[in-house]
Chain A
Amino acid sequence: MSVFSGLGTAAKEIVRGGRIYYAWVALLLVFISLGLVAYVGQLRNGLGMTNMRNQVAWGFYISNFTFLVGVAAAAVLLVIPAYVYNFKPIKEIAFLGELMAVTAIVMCILFVAVDVGGPANLWHLIPFIGRPNFPVSLLTWDIVVLNGYLGINGFIFFYVLYKVSRGQKYSRILPLILLSIPWAVGIHTVTAFLYNGLVARPFWNAAILAPRFLASAFCSGPALMILVLQLVRRQFRIDIDGRALTKIAELVAYALAFNLFLLGAEAFKEFYGQSEHIAPMKYLYLGLHGHHALVPFMWTALTLNVTALMLFLVPRFRNNVKLLNVGCVFILCGVYIEKGLGLVVPGFTPDALGEIYEYVPSVTELAVSLGIWSSGALCFTLLAKFSIPVFIKAKQFTLLGEPSE
Chain B
Amino acid sequence: MSCKKTSPTWAVAAGLAWALGAAPGCDEHDRHAFPAPPASVAAETVTVEPRTQLLPTFPCSSRCHSARESQPDKRLLTEFHTFRNTEFHHGDPAGWCYQCHSQKNIDRLVIASGELVTFDEAYLLCGGCHGDKLRDWRLAVHGKTMGHWTGNKIRRSCTGCHNPHNPTFPHLVPEAPPVRPEHGERM
Contacts and interface: CB of A to CB of B under 8 A. Distances in A.
A171 to B, nearest CB: 51
A360 interface: yes
A277 interface: no
A362 to B, nearest CB: 7
Interface string B165-187: 00000000000000011011111
A55 B181 CA distance: 8
A45 B184 CA distance: 12
Interface stretch (A46-54, A182-190, A294-302): A46-54
A363 B183 CA distance: 11
Interface in A49-106: 49, 51, 53-55
Contacts of B180: 357
A354 to B, nearest CB: 14
A49 B185 contact: yes
A48 B186 contact: yes
A30 B16 CA distance: 70
A55 B183 CA distance: 12
Contacts of A55: 181
A160 to B, nearest CB: 46
Contacts of B187: 48
A54 B186 CA distance: 14
Contacts of B185: 45, 48-49, 362-364
A48 B186 CA distance: 6
Contacts, number: 19
A12 B184 CA distance: 46
Nearest to B180: A357
Nearest to A360: B183
Nearest to B181: A53
Nearest to B183: A51
Q: Is the interface of A mostly helix, strand, loop or mixed?
A: loop
Interface string A349-376: 0000000010010111000000000000
Q: Is the interface of B mostly helix, strand, loop or mixed?
A: loop
A45 B186 CA distance: 9
A357 B186 contact: no
Interface string A320-357: 00000000000000000000000000000000000001
Contacts of A360: 183
Contacts of B184: 51, 362
Interface string B79-107: 00000000000000000000000000000
A151 to B, nearest CB: 37
Interface string B31-42: 000000000000
B183 A54 contact: no
B76 to A, nearest CB: 52
A365 to B, nearest CB: 11
A357 B187 CA distance: 14
Nearest to A361: B183
Contacts of B186: 45, 48
B78 to A, nearest CB: 54
A360 B181 CA distance: 13
A363 B184 CA distance: 9
Interface in B133-187: 180-181, 183-187
A363 B181 CA distance: 17
Contacts of B183: 51, 360, 362
Contact of B181 (A45, A49, A357, A362): A357
B180 to A, nearest CB: 8
A360 B180 CA distance: 16
A119 B75 CA distance: 77
A326 to B, nearest CB: 34
Contacts of A362: 183-185
Interface string A198-226: 00000000000000000000000000000
Given A51-B184, A362-B185, 13 more contacts: A45-B185, A48-B185, A48-B186, A48-B187, A49-B185, A51-B183, A53-B181, A54-B181, A55-B181, A357-B180, A357-B181, A362-B183, A363-B185
Interface of A: 45, 48-49, 51, 53-55, 357, 360, 362-364
15 contacts: A45-B185, A45-B186, A48-B185, A48-B186, A48-B187, A49-B185, A51-B184, A53-B181, A357-B180, A357-B181, A360-B183, A362-B183, A362-B184, A362-B185, A364-B185
